[in-house]
Amino acid sequence: MALSLILASSSPYRRTLLKQLRLPFRHFAPHINEEAKPRESASALALRLAEEKACALAPANPQSLIIGSDQVAECNGRILGKPGNREGAIAQLRACSGSKITFFTGLSVFNSATKKHLSSVETFTVYFRQLSIEQIERYVELEEPYDCAGSFKVEGLGITLFEKLEGSDINTLVGLPLIRLVDFLGEFGISPLAPATREPKAAS
């Protein structure tokens, strides 16, 4: 039986990224506790949440490959959450001005039929320019990045905030490391470049 592909996420950004692979998939929001454990590192938190998201949908989807992903941002040793509002976004960007943010993006692909799990954490670092309060407030006004860890959207005007980007897959920064995901799907026998299945010809 062919496995269906499921994205364990309510994020429109992750759905847009996964659509790039041109594989049919469904998506559902996993319901898990996303709070960090005491002394849990940003990398460990990202990995744990990605795995928990994938596993959360397994009982209702027993013949599926379930993709879980979660991103945690860290600046100057402090984990950054989603700002939630204008004041939070401005405060985050002021704290990150002239500094670097490292994004840890956990990725997990869980085969709910065999219970096989493939997981990793991909990193991406952004280096912020020195930003004036006027620039920060204008950026927040234009893009309202309230649902983004780090308070920016790299696929939009957020690119103007940076001096340099450092990492192997820009999609990691958006929230779904596609290069690693293609590797994991390949181990489960799924390839976006596999030959199309042809319908059998009707007998003449």
Active site residues: 70
Residues 6 or more apart whose Cβ sits within 8 Å of residue 171: 17, 177, 178, 179
b/e code 155-170 from CB counts within 10 Å (16+ = b) = eeebeebeeeeebebe
Q: Return the SS3 of 122.
A: strand
> E strands, the chain, where?
4-8, 26-28, 64-75, 78-80, 100-111, 117-128, 162-166
Cβ atoms of residues 162 and 129 within 8 Å? yes
Cβ atoms of residues 182 and 133 within 8 Å? no
Instruction: Supply φ then ψ for residue 172, to 5 degrees.
Output: -60, -40
* 189: amino acid identity, one letter: G
Cβ atoms of residues 26 and 6 within 8 Å? yes
